[in-house]
Chains A and B, each alone.
Chain A
Amino acid sequence: MGDQPLIDVDWILTNLGDPIGTSLLEHIKLSFLPILFGLLLALPLGVLSARWKPLYPPVLAGVNILYAIPSIALFFLVLPYTSFSMWTAVIPLTLYTLAILVPNVVDGLGQVPDHVRQAATAMGFGPMRRLLQVDLPVAVPFVIAGLRIASVATISMVSVASLVGLGGLGQLILTEGFRNYKFLTPILVGIVLSVALAFLVDGLLVLLQRWLTPWTRDDSRKAARAAAPAPEGDPA
């Protein structure tokens, strides 16, 4: 432990394909699916909560309680139902993203100023058309701000899945690095790759937002700021 080199380049080179490459691919799969499913669930939940106000407090309380359950516990609790499959990680991680995404969708839908909403109604927009053509487009910067936080959180949280033996970069950290040799190199490789993946996805989402919402280009700071102080981070 004491006199090992911080980074063992030979180990990295010999293990580049397996386990480093395979762990990374697994990590991408295990984080991408929860973000996707989370968005698909959060949109209808958010739309319903924004439209039917009494629904929002219980929905918010529900997703916040889910958020407070330790991820490691949730992995174990769904294990009897999913057996050892990627769903054991995907289902809990999906539920965690809801605590970030649902409030952002609701806030985003609330961004349309009252006078704009009235103008839409006065021009003959029905509720559905208004949702699709006015409310949702205006909400996009907020939804993407939520996606950025949720994806960074999810990518760093996937590592916990390895404690249950579900793979991903956490497996590299835990099995290769810790349990086998107390060997720093795999742990550091796992951390660096995980952080790099998080930053890459974050950057891609920023580009996506620029492309989807050209009207915010010179005040994207405002939209980003408005969404920034939302609850953030990863329950483990």
Chain B
Amino acid sequence: MSPFEQVLNWFLDPANWAGTGGIPIRFLEHIQYSALALLIAAVIAIPVGLLTGHTGRGGFAAVSVANFARALPTIGVLFVVVVLAGINLIPVMVALVALAIPPILVNTHEGVRGVDPLLKDAAVGMGMRGPEVLRRLELPVAMPLILLGLRTAAIQVISTATIAAYVGVGGLGRFLVDGQSQGRGNFAMIAGGSVLVVVLAILVTVLFAAVRRFALAPGLRR
């Protein structure tokens, strides 16, 4: 049997679609973990990025923190928190949030800071105050970059959420871990799980393209 047929058969086997360990449940679990981690990261990173970008202060610190977080090995973060907090969802969330913060933070900061000073000058000249400049000018103009940061973070989180299975939690990573542990490795199960992760990543890319259509001011769409 060719590798392609093996994977196809795995997808066609009704047993793989049923029950708590079936594809639909694992897929939803994966979405839940990823969405929660992305939400927490966005709630932390977007306000900080807007603030540092708008005031021009703390930008260096924000970018440094992001660089540091990017250099952290995710596996290391995961196991430190497992040792400290035990096996549950907390280590997974800490690791994924640490992963998702850098792209969101850097892109929000750069997006706001990159707004043409002439535009800011015009906004202040028309009598806008700081918060109004941020809300009416900087946020909409920075939106394409912020969305790009969120998308990058989402793809990375979805891909990395598979390691959740290594600390005994669910999601699509289960197929990778369980496939690996079956003898010399169940190729079809590992490949099938990977295909599902890629499908989810593509769905998210499409979702972001749609969000871009609605969230961007028409003049900023390209």
A and B: direct contact (Cβ < 8 Å)?
Answer: yes
Question: Residues of A with Cβ closer than 8 Å to B?
Answer: 1, 64-65, 67-74, 76-77, 79-80, 152-153, 155-160, 162-163, 169-170, 173-174, 177-178, 182-184, 187-188, 190-191, 194-195, 198-199, 202, 225, 228-229, 231-236
Contact A187 B194, beta carbon cutoff 8 Å: no
Residue B38 CB within 8 A of the other chain: no
Contact A233 B194, beta carbon cutoff 8 Å: no
Contact B73 A235, beta carbon cutoff 8 Å: no
Residues of B within 8 A of A228 (CB): 63, 106, 110
Contact B160 A70, beta carbon cutoff 8 Å: yes
| Cα distance A170–B75 in the bound complex, in angstroms | 7
Residue B149 CB within 8 A of the other chain: yes
| Cα distance A72–B163 in the bound complex, in angstroms | 8
| Cα distance A65–B155 in the bound complex, in angstroms | 10
Residues of A within 8 A of B211 (CB): none
Contact A232 B102, beta carbon cutoff 8 Å: yes
Check A73/B162 contact, CB under 8 A, given A174-B79, A194-B76: yes
Contact B83 A190, beta carbon cutoff 8 Å: no
Could you tell me the dominant secondary structure of chain B's interface residues? helix
| Cα distance A236–B166 in the bound complex, in angstroms | 12
| Cα distance A163–B180 in the bound complex, in angstroms | 10
The contact sample of 11 A-B pairs, CB cut-off 8 A, is A67-B155, A67-B159, A68-B155, A152-B70, A195-B73, A228-B106, A229-B106, A229-B145, A229-B149, A232-B102, A232-B152
- Of all chain A residues, the one with the shortest Cβ separation from B66 is A232
| Cα distance A234–B148 in the bound complex, in angstroms | 16
